[in-house]
A = this chain, B = another copy of it.
Amino acid sequence: MLKATIYFMLYLIGLGFDEKDITLKGIEAGKKCEKCYAELYTSDWKGDIKNIEKLIGKEIKILERSDLEENLDIWINEIKDYNTALFVPGDPLVATTHIAIVDQALRKGIKVKIIHAPSIISAIASCGLQIYKFGKTATIPWSGQVENVAKTIEFNKQHGLHTLLLLDIGMSGEQGLKILLSKNIITEDTDIIVASNLGRENEKILFCKAKEIKNFPSPCVIIIPGKLHFAEKEFLELLRCGNDRKRA
């Protein structure tokens, strides 16, 4: 007698920055699934999940951090006999906590497919800095524990590399800078790039001195440029505070 093994599929589907950043692949995968979930705690996603529900024609259950971390086993058991979609902000697995979900699913014999979407990691190319000249990335946490951030910036700077600083959930550009300034990691005259709502309708990118920024709400990133190529320098001047040849 032949014994067939049936594999169910878990799709991790990227949502990008807001509800219109989902790809055709993402919509198609969502339509195939019997169970649909979303987590919106790893990033500040600006969209209405109801619109994603309309696109795939199904209800989506919102999961909390505890469902996917402390109680991951329970969730994996819940989905193991179904094709399942888990919608996540940005590009899945960039939030490193999701690796554990994939790992557990594979160990239970569930196949996993990643459906990619826009991510801050490549979208920062919008600032005009060459993506391959970025060094290690760091996150400014609400705790204000920035020893690691200081080390990363210094190390990258020493080697001419740009540093992408992600800000903790809900942290504005001003709040992030205040932490860096209070720890003397940068001065008020340090040239930085601030990008708020990258990839969204209300995107705002500015090249300026730290003291010049105001009104850069969350989600926001700060970039400390390393050694600038002349093409990078020229482009950054277009984003310079006060220059009116601004991007749309």
**Contact yes or no, B103 A234, CB < 8 A:** yes
**Contact yes or no, A20 B23, CB < 8 A:** yes
**Contact yes or no, B114 A199, CB < 8 A:** yes
**Contact yes or no, B116 A14, CB < 8 A:** no
Most buried by B among A14, A92, A114: A114
Instruction: Give the chain B neighbours of A137 by CB distance below 8 A.
Output: 131-132, 134
Q: Is the interface of A mostly helix, strand, loop or mixed?
A: mixed
A238 in contact (CB, < 8 A): yes
**Contact yes or no, A103 B235, CB < 8 A:** yes
A61 in contact (CB, < 8 A): no
A117 to B26, CA, bound (A): 12
A247 in contact (CB, < 8 A): yes
Interface residues of A in 216-248 (CB under 8 A from B): 231-232, 234-235, 238, 245-248
A125 in contact (CB, < 8 A): yes
Taking the full assembly, how many copies of this chain does it contain?
2
Interface string of A126-144 (1 = CB under 8 A from B): 1010111111111100000
CB proximity of A46 to chain B, nearest CB, Å:
13
Which residue of B14, B16, B94, B238 is within 8 Å of A106 (Cβ)?
B238
A155 in contact (CB, < 8 A): yes
**Contact yes or no, B123 A245, CB < 8 A:** no
Which residue of B93, B94, B118 is within 8 Å of A116 (Cβ)?
B118
A17 in contact (CB, < 8 A): yes
> Which residue of B has the minimal Cβ distance to A14?
B118
Interface residue tally for chain A (C-beta within 8 Å): 63
Given contacts A16-B116, A134-B136, contact A93 B155 (CB under 8 A): no
A117 to B14, CA, bound (A): 11
Given contacts A22-B23, A126-B93, contact A139 B132 (CB under 8 A): yes
Interface residues of A in 191-206 (CB under 8 A from B): 199
> Which residue of B has the minimal Cβ distance to A155?
B159
**Contact yes or no, B20 A28, CB < 8 A:** yes
A119 in contact (CB, < 8 A): yes
A247 to B7, CA, bound (A): 11
Instruction: Give the B-binding residues of A (Cβ under 8 A).
Output: 7, 9, 14, 16-17, 19-25, 28, 90-94, 96, 99-100, 102-103, 106-107, 109, 111-114, 116-119, 121-123, 125-126, 128, 130-139, 155, 159, 161, 199, 231-232, 234-235, 238, 245-248
